[in-house]
């Protein structure tokens, strides 16, 4: 008898065994490994920054524009922001380069542009 005083049928035991096997299997599999030294919050910010930079295409996104669209990035401390940008650069996703302003007039702006 189990803890709730009911006998366990063979069907229930089979289901528990299958659940235990599957739980063990999926706990060993890492679907999306986080970059070393980043927690899940930082990894989520990295994914969102990467998404917006890729979406911006050849015009790129400045740090100010990223802060405008990503609330968590706006609230992040400068060290975390720098880690995210270092990872974007290291993975070859984008680089910080001077590009013409969207209107074409005025000084160039430094934006993260997809490589």
What would the pLDDT profile of 23-62 be if each residue is shown by its tens digit? 655 444 444 455 566 678 888 999 999 999 999 999 899 9
The domain locations on the chain are 40-114
Q: Which of 88, 75, 74 is nearest to 38 (CA)?
A: 88
- What is the per-residue pLDDT for 4? 56
Residue 53 burial (CB < 10 Å; 0-12/13-18/19+)? buried
Distance between alpha carbon 80 and the CA centroid of its chain, in Å? 13
Dist CA 108 CA 99 (whole Å): 5
Residues 6+ apart with CB under 8 A from 7: 1
CATH topology of domain 40-114: Arc Repressor Mutant, subunit A (1.10.10)
Give the global pTM.
0.65
């Amino acid at each position: 008898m189990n803890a709730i005083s009911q006998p366990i049928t063979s069907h229930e035991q089979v289901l528990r065994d299958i659940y235990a096997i599957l739980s063990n299997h999926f706990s060993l599999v890492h679907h999306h490994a986080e970059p070393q030294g980043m927690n899940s919050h930082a990894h989520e910010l990295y994914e969102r920054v990467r998404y917006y930079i890729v979406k911006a295409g050849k015009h790129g996104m400045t740090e100010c524009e990223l802060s405008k669209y990503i609330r968590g990035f706006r609230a992040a401390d400068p060290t975390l922001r720098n880690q995210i940008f270092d990872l974007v650069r290291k993975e070859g996703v984008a680089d910080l380069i001077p590009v013409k302003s969207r209107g074409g007039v005025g000084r160039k702006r430094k934006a993260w542009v997809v490589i």
